[in-house]
């Protein structure tokens, strides 16, 4: 790789991408259509978790005490600072491992960069950001793959390990379970405001803090038998990922909109009309499975469908285990973790109070 002049102007990373963060995900409806008939027809007895329930990672049993957990996640820039972009993408990729209750072992980098457009020191900063988060998680980036791409893309393929008896799927929730959300919502709305130069410095710092906070509680929650199901909230928004939990568990859910934690300033931005295009695509994909028991404003709907980049864990737990679950979140710095509702009898529908 030849050196580039340090005087080369550095473009805004977000200006090089048509979308950013988990808002880049293909909408749930389109994805379901693309995957029709794509599931493997041959059963694999040791594949404990595959693609059948839209879970966060694949799980393959090695023996009675060990299973490998594997996932990949990558996207285009959600911010302009290259180091922060790398940190956010790496944190988001690791989240799928924690959402299964597993411990990460190593990562491989996925890198697509416009080599003739971005200064090479900028690309190096993206890679350093990812490395810093993996170091925080106690794992190496042991290799990877890179291509010359029109848009900047960065992420990780992560491998973890877990006791097969402790796997936390998104499809094992039980009737009456309480729903706990680990992080407040609003990353997509803040990022949309950022792109319009409407985000102040304090709100930007909050966005960086939440998107680079590792979902470490997942590893401890794995040991609690009363935690029945777990997932992380990302590009399909809270409602989309909760619907996946409902479908997999053959249950419904009821959430209290006023109890859903929000990042500072998100409600005001949503009420002013700031939202992502992915939010509307999400609603068009699954809105028919959502029933509002009271009139729901456009801003509230935008928040509940808002694509979260590196969002929080969504936990379904027995009510008797709520104090233990809350204590784990609190001890690891998730001070806004909140009970937002419960699982109920029914199938594949969310009721919003």
Active site residues: 22
Strand-pair partners of 231: 314
Cβ atoms of 95 and 187 within 8 Å: the answer is: no
Q: What span, in angstroms and rounded, lies between the C-alpha atoms of 328 and 333?
A: 9
Q: What span, in angstroms and rounded, lies between the C-alpha atoms of 123 and 16?
A: 13
Cβ atoms of 341 and 293 within 8 Å: the answer is: no
DSSP letter for each residue of 183-224: S-B-HHHHHHHHHTT---HHHHHHHHHHHT---THHHHHTT-
Of the candidates 263, 258, 248, 236, the residue with the CA atom closest to the CA atom of residue 316? 248
What's the DSSP call for residue 318? -
Q: What is the dihedral of CA 268, 269, 274, 279, to 10 degrees?
A: -80
Q: What span, in angstroms and rounded, lies between the C-alpha atoms of 225 and 346?
A: 23
């Amino acid at each position: 790789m030849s050196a580039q002049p340090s005087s080369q102007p550095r473009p805004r990373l977000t200006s090089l991408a048509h979308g950013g963060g988990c808002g880049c995900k293909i909408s749930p409806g389109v994805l379901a259509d693309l995957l029709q008939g794509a599931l493997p027809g041959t059963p694999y007895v040791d594949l404990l978790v595959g693609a059948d329930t839209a879970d966060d990672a694949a799980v393959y049993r090695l023996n009675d005490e060990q299973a490998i957990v594997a996932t990949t996640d990558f996207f285009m820039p959600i911010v302009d600072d290259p180091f922060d972009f790398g940190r956010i993408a790496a944190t988001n990729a690791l989240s799928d491992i924690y959402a299964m209750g597993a411990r990460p072992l190593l990562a491989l980098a996925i890198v697509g960069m416009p080599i003739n457009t971005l200064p090479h020191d900028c690309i190096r900063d993206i890679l350093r950001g990812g490395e810093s988060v993996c170091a925080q998680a106690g794992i190496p980036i042991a290799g990877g793959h890179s291509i010359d791409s029109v848009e900047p893309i960065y992420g990780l393929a992560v491998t973890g390990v877990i006791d097969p008896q402790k796997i936390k799927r998104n499809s094992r929730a039980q009737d009456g379970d309480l729903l706990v959300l680990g992080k407040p919502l609003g990353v997509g709305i803040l990022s949309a405001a950022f792109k319009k130069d409407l985000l102040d410095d304090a709100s930007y710092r909050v966005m960086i803090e939440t998107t680079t906070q590792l979902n470490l509680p997942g590893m401890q929650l794995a040991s609690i038998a009363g935690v029945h199901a777990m997932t992380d909230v990302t590009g399909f928004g809270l409602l989309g990922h909760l619907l996946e939990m409902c479908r997999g568990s053959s249950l419904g859910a009821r959430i209290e909109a006023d109890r859903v934690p929000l990042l500072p300033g998100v409600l005001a931005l949503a009420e002013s009309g700031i939202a992502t295009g992915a939010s509307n695509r999400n609603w068009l994909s699954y809105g028919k499975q959502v029933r509002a028991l009271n009139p729901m404003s456009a801003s509230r709907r935008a928040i509940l469908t808002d694509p979260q980049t590196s969002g929080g864990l969504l936990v379904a737990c027995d009510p008797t285990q709520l104090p233990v679950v809350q204590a784990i979140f609190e001890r690891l710095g998730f001070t806004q973790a909140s009970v937002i509702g419960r699982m109920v009898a029914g199938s594949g529908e969310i009721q919003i109070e």
